[in-house]
Amino acid sequence: MSRIDGRNILITGGASGIGRLLALKAAALGGRVILWDVSEANLGRVTREIEAGGGTVHARLCDVSNREDVYRAAGDVKENVGPVDILVNNAGVVSGRSFLECTDEQCQRTMDVNIMAHFWTVRAFLPDMVRRGSGHIVTMASAAGIVGVSRMVDYCASKAAAFAFDEALRMEIRKSGWAIKTTVVCPYFINTGMFEGVRTRFAALLPILNEEKVAERIIRAVLKNRKRLVMPPMVYSVWLLRLFPVVVFDFVADLMGINVAMKTFKGRSPDVGADPRN
């Protein structure tokens, strides 16, 4: 039996993109999938997919940027499904605009969805995990949380915060002696609608990642209790490059095409990532 079989796995932003694929794969492994998303239509479609495959799913509309909505949805899960064994903070949005082109509302929304939501979901479910002596928290960060990228100031800031959130939480859990596992995921651009239109200069080193393979690797990371999953391996070089002067770091970033990758960005209609209301 896998660590997912028979477990309750909650996935935010679970009705599209990587969230949907994680839900399908978790259900196929015997997990009881709990989906939160802001799209009722997408929730319905994924629910039907999972049930058609014989899986179990509990879907609910939830705006994870809204603290009270998260706490209400968490109460519903605890009452009607049971304790959450694996929490996957996957919901995310991206504006894809330069800093001065982003509106105040877009900047706020990016931070609310991409990082503040992690605070609310973890605060809702971690105490129960501690009491039960088991649980796993998965944080979807990004390679953009490790290196800054032009036209992604708000996104990079939110994902850097998500990376730090996981790291500090892991330290706190370890120091407290709690039997809770954590995994942070830092992928390069993935070929989902969220990043439609992005380009990479050296595909052999920094390929646009296949969403099916990314979802499969995340599931394997959870099964193996991996603390960190960075894709592709080239992203690890960022930490080494930070040992050099900033001018060298910036030169390499430009050489690799990192700062022009978003020039052809289209994104998911109308202009952002996972949340169709933006």
Enter the tokens of residue 104.
């105040």
**Residues pairing with 61 in the sheet:** 37
Q: Which domain holds residue 134?
A: 8-234+244-264
Q: What is the pLDDT of residue 272?
A: 35
CATH number of the domain that residue 112 is part of: 3.40.50.720
pLDDT at 274 over 50: no
Rounded to an integer, the average pLDDT of 13-33 is: 98
Give the model confidence (pLDDT) of 143-159 as tens digits: 999 999 999 999 999 99
| C-alpha–C-alpha distance, residues 171 and 173, integer Å | 5
Q: What is the pLDDT of residue 268?
A: 67
Q: What is the pLDDT of residue 277?
A: 29
In a domain, 270, yes or no: no
Residues whose CB falls within 8 Å of the CB of residue 50, separated by 6 or more in sequence, listed in order: 23, 24, 27, 33, 56, 57
In a domain, 154, yes or no: yes
| C-alpha–C-alpha distance, residues 211 and 188, integer Å | 11
| C-alpha–C-alpha distance, residues 221 and 79, integer Å | 29
Mean pLDDT rounded to a whole number for the chain = 94
Rounded to an integer, the average pLDDT of 270-276 is: 36
| C-beta neighbour count of 178 within 10 angstroms | 16
Enter the tokens of residue 79.
């009452």
In a domain, 274, yes or no: no
Give the model confidence (pLDDT) of 54-83 as tens digits: 999 999 999 999 999 999 999 999 999 999
pLDDT at 93 over 60: yes
In a domain, 78, yes or no: yes
E strand or H helix at 182: strand 181-187
In a domain, 275, yes or no: no
In a domain, 3, yes or no: no
Q: How many domains does the chain have?
A: 1
Tell me the pTM: 0.94
In a domain, 271, yes or no: no
- Annotated catalytic residues are 155
